[in-house]
Amino acid sequence: MASNKALTQPAAVRDPMEPHPFVIERFYRETTDTFSLHLESADPLFTLNFKPGQFNMVYVFGVGEVPISISSDPGNPKVLIHTTREVGVVTRAMHKLKVGQMVGLRGPYGTSWPIDEAKLHDVVLVAGGIGLAPLRPCLYHILAHREQYGRVVLLYGTRSPEDIIFVKELGKWRSLFDLDVLITVDRATEDWRGVVGVVTRLIPRAPFDPGETVAMVCGPEIMMRFSVQELIQRGVPIDNIYVSLERNMKCGVGHCGHCQLRGEFVCKDGPVYRYSKIEPLFNEREL
Among 119, 268, 274, 277, binds another protein (CB under 8 A): 268
- Regarding 203 and contact with another protein (CB under 8 A), the answer is no
Q: Which among 107, 83, 103, 81 has a CA at the least distance from the CA of 33?
A: 83
Stretch of residues binding another protein (CB under 8 A), selected from 43-51, 118-126, 135-143, 153-161: 153-161
- Regarding 286 and contact with another protein (CB under 8 A), the answer is yes
Q: Which among 162, 184, 170 has a CA at the least distance from the CA of 139?
A: 170
Q: Which among 148, 155, 145 has a CA at the least distance from the CA of 224?
A: 155
Q: How far is the CB of 164 from another protein (least distance, A)?
A: 11
**Cβ proximity to another protein, 14 vs 168, nearer residue:** 14
**Cβ proximity to another protein, 206 vs 215, nearer residue:** 206
Q: Rounded to an integer, what distance in angstroms lies between the CA atom of residue 105 and that of residue 252?
A: 11
Q: How far is the CB of 80 from another protein (least distance, A)?
A: 17
- Regarding 3 and contact with another protein (CB under 8 A), the answer is no
- Three-class DSSP category at 113: coil
Among 148, 195, 234, 274, binds another protein (CB under 8 A): 195
- Regarding 129 and contact with another protein (CB under 8 A), the answer is yes
Encoded amino acid at 119, one letter:
K
- Regarding 232 and contact with another protein (CB under 8 A), the answer is no
Contact 83, 35 (CB under 8 A): yes
**Cβ proximity to another protein, 36 vs 158, nearer residue:** 158
**Cβ proximity to another protein, 74 vs 161, nearer residue:** 161
Q: Rounded to an integer, what distance in angstroms lies between the CA atom of residue 213 and that of residue 19?
A: 38
- Regarding 207 and contact with another protein (CB under 8 A), the answer is no
Among 207, 211, 220, 235, binds another protein (CB under 8 A): 220
Long-range contacts from 93-100, C-beta under 8 angstroms, 24+ separation: 93/60, 93/63, 93/64, 94/37, 94/58, 94/60, 94/66, 95/35, 97/24, 97/27, 97/37, 97/60, 98/24, 98/27, 99/24, 99/25, 99/26, 99/27, 100/23, 100/24
Residues 57-116 that bind another protein (CB under 8 A): 59, 61-65, 85, 87-88, 98, 100-102, 104
Q: Rounded to an integer, what distance in angstroms lies between the CA atom of residue 259 and that of residue 252?
A: 9
Stretch of residues binding another protein (CB under 8 A), selected from 3-11, 140-148, 167-175, 183-191: 183-191
Among 256, 274, 277, 282, binds another protein (CB under 8 A): 256
Q: How far is the CB of 258 from another protein (least distance, A)?
A: 6
According to DSSP, the residues that pair with 70 across neighbouring strands are 82
- Regarding 159 and contact with another protein (CB under 8 A), the answer is yes
Residues 18-57 that bind another protein (CB under 8 A): 18-19, 21, 23, 33, 42
